[in-house]
Amino acid sequence: MSLTGFESAIVETVVVNQIFGNGMIGDYYESFGIKPITGKQSLMICQVHREGCGGDK
């Protein structure tokens, strides 16, 4: 799988958000101008990237 830097950053953010939620980690990403991604949005992005984030719920 080859992702661009931006895409891999999105996927990384999604994975982090799914694991840690949007607490301190979300604030950490916001300091870089990346908004925390929640629930339905993160699932949608994971499906787009075929990452299968969060297991098969």
The per-residue pLDDT for range 6-48, each reduced to its tens digit, is 777 777 766 666 655 555 555 555 666 656 555 555 555 555 5
Tell me how long the chain is: 57
Q: Is residue 55 part of a domain?
A: no
Give me the pLDDT at residue 37, please.
Answer: 55
Rounded to 5°, the CA angle 10-37-46 comes to: 55
DSSP 40-54: HHHHHHHHHHT--TT
- Dist. CA 5–CA 25, nearest whole Å: 20
Residue 7 has a pLDDT of 72
Q: Is residue 17 situated within a structural domain?
A: yes
What is the tally of structural domains in the chain? 1
Does residue 56 belong to any structural domain of this protein? no
- 55 compared with 15, residue with greater pLDDT: 15
In a domain, 11, yes or no: yes
Q: What is the pLDDT of residue 56?
A: 44
Is residue 9 in some structural domain? yes
Does the residue 39 lie in any domain?
yes
Query: Considering the entire predicted model, what is its pTM?
Result: 0.23
Report the pLDDT value the prediction gives residue 57, as an integer from 0 to 100: 40
